Amino acid sequence: MMVAVMLAAATAVPAQVPPAVSSAPACRSSVVGTVRTITLQSKVFPGERTLRIWLPPGYDTSGQRRYPVLYVLDGQNAFDTCTGYQGHEWTLDEVATRLITNGAISPIVIVGIDNAGARRANEYLPYADPFMPTAGQVEGDRMAAFLAGDVMPAVAASFRVSTDPAEIGVGGFSYGGVATLHMALSNPQLFGKALIESPSLQVGNGQLLRDAADAATLPDRVYVGMGGEEAAIPPGAPPAMREQIARINAGLVVGAKRLRDRLAAALTAPTVKLVIDPAAHHGEDAWAKRLPAALTFLFGLGDAEKQTPRR
């Protein structure tokens, strides 16, 4: 049971709660570039939701140009250590700025979609997690409707983002990776690029892998990242616990490889990239480390495009 609890902690980020009021100095934002926020009233899920929109260099002076866009779940963690989980962020703003400036990727808009706090697991999971049976009723089948009906129209109304699925990406980490994968399998017409990091493939007792085996069509490009040590082995853990956690970690890597193979075998096969980071644990720092490879794979410029001066 202890191993199950430890793995759950490694595969499902706890719901974020507002920090307690204290006399500590105000947090200094780590945002690089411009992030604007809008609030929408969801028609699909209860309550308001904050969207954090990062704009690429040159956005304000680019006339009517429309940009490829990446929608990222758990938006609190996307750009700022002040709002990120336990003071960590994915550095999407820093990495995208560097890649765009160096001409490695197209200028893109990135939209961070805040999670629902205590209801995060309910909204993200299409199937129950056997390691987190207290998550309650799952509503992940509604996430695509939330994205297409609430989020995308709100962003398109205020920002110059592409509505061409080929130029739209969706990304998520942990349970957010589960939600992204499920939408890619069930609603592939919505977006052409998927960023799936450390997906909790145990949900539904492996149902996502079975779903992937029957996929007919998928987004054009799918990136999957996984750490080789997603569940960290605590110092001083007894041998039996160490062995069991190591077995679980090995199983997660096997699952990621199986996912890659099943996605690549779809009737209209996407281009799939799998990155296994052998020593990486489950968390924001590992995902930030793998982010440059993910963004370059999904939004990278071809050699001909790299030789064309940006205007």
What's the first-to-final CA gap in the chain, in angstroms? 58
130 contacts 202 by C-beta, under 8 angstroms: yes
Per-residue pLDDT averaged across 262-279, rounded?
96
pLDDT tens, residue by residue, 190-217: 999 999 999 999 999 999 999 999 999 9
User: What pTM was estimated for this model as a whole?
Assistant: 0.89
pLDDT tens, residue by residue, 35-70: 999 999 999 998 899 999 999 999 999 999 999 999
| Cα radius of gyration rounded to whole Å, the chain | 19
Distance CA 5, CA 19 (A): 24
Residues with Cβ within 8 Å of 101's Cβ and at least 6 positions away in sequence, in order, are: 57
Burial profile 219-253: b = 16 or more Cβ within 10 angstroms, e = fewer: bbbbbbbbbebbbbbeeebeeeeeebbeebbeebb
Helix 284-299 with 92-101: angle, nearest 10 deg: 30
The two structure tokens encoding residue 65: 């140009």
The two structure tokens encoding residue 216: 């007919």
Angle subtended at Cα 261 by Cα 256 and Cα 262, rounded to the nearest 5 degrees: 95
Instruction: For the chain, give every domain's residue range.
Output: 2-6+30-307
111 beta partners: 53, 71
Distance CA 118, CA 12 (A): 12
CATH topology of domain 2-6+30-307: Rossmann fold (3.40.50)
Is the pLDDT assigned to residue 144 strictly greater than 80?
yes
